[in-house]
Chain A
């Protein structure tokens, strides 16, 4: 994974417009969040291999980055993205890592299921 190059990610978003895609969208504080610190609220959610088609989308911010994808009836939104997989030109693999390297958020789009 590489630190996000905004222009390259925008290119990938544009390449995938108006296609039937599989999406993996996730956010998590980790299963141990409250075990280590009672004041923390453990939360995690993910949806894997759902179908999505978006008409336009963009990346925003100065890092960590935000992404919004406009679908037929709504939106997909993700904030806190820091890294992307630069060797993948057919898929969009994005993640947000905290300062300890832990994954906090993930947004992935592909024509094939994950």
Chain B
């Protein structure tokens, strides 16, 4: 049983596909506290609804509301929006970026941190977010470090880091997970996510029923 889980991800909706079931499970099973630190408001996202109901001007406000709705669906009550700019995480002042994560570590003292793998997470923001978490926790004395679970999905990621060592069956939490995904209305209609196709229960279980993590090994 985790005491406190800190989730650090760069974009609203990153939580929905990758770990909403796992978090819903932890919140359901006991006294685990969860804090979700979302680095940006996804203001440079390209999905704007079909037909588009958002613009570059209104998107941050809409995505903030979607993020809050997703957290309600999962059961997350402690959402921190850190105010960094979408697409710019890899260029951000590292002292500022790491400092914001370090402050959360000091405040919350989590037993588990979940983030993206620092090199195998496809989007530059994902990798830069994971790298900042690893840098920050890597500076802590080894005996004080929390467990870190990374998510990875770049091509050939398993050739580099092997199979995931943490595989969570979240089939019992698909109600929360699908509600989290659907909360991101501006993103939800994108063809590569669910598109217009109505998935059967079996398809939903096959596609969303398992969440995978790699425990990060600090050298």
Contact = CB atoms under 8 A, between A and B. Distances in A.
A101 B123 contact: no
A32 B57 CA distance: 23
A26 B45 CA distance: 12
Interface in A64-114: 83, 85, 88, 91, 93, 95, 97, 100-104, 106, 108, 114
Contact of A32 (B44, B56, B192): B192
A7 interface: no
B179 interface: no
Nearest to B186: A101
A31 interface: yes
Interface string B123-155: 111000000000000000000000000000011
A31 B122 contact: yes
A35 B122 contact: yes
Contacts of B56: 24, 26, 93, 95, 103, 106, 108, 114
B189 A32 contact: no
Nearest to A98: B46
Contacts, number: 69
Main DSSP-derived SS at the B contact region:
loop
B52 A1 contact: yes
B191 interface: yes
B57 A103 contact: no
Interface residues of B, number: 25
A100 B123 contact: no
B55 interface: yes
B48 interface: yes
A54 B47 CA distance: 30
Contacts of A88: 57
B124 A101 contact: no
Given A36-B192, A102-B48, 4 more contacts: A31-B124, A97-B48, A101-B51, A102-B46
Interface of B: 44-57, 87, 122-125, 154-155, 189-192
Interface of A: 1, 24, 26, 28, 30-32, 35-36, 44, 46, 83, 85, 88, 91, 93, 95, 97, 100-104, 106, 108, 114
28 contacts: A1-B48, A1-B51, A26-B44, A28-B46, A31-B87, A32-B122, A32-B123, A32-B192, A35-B122, A35-B154, A83-B52, A85-B57, A88-B57, A93-B55, A93-B57, A100-B191, A101-B51, A101-B52, A101-B190, A102-B46, A102-B48, A102-B190, A103-B45, A103-B46, A103-B52, A106-B55, A106-B56, A114-B56
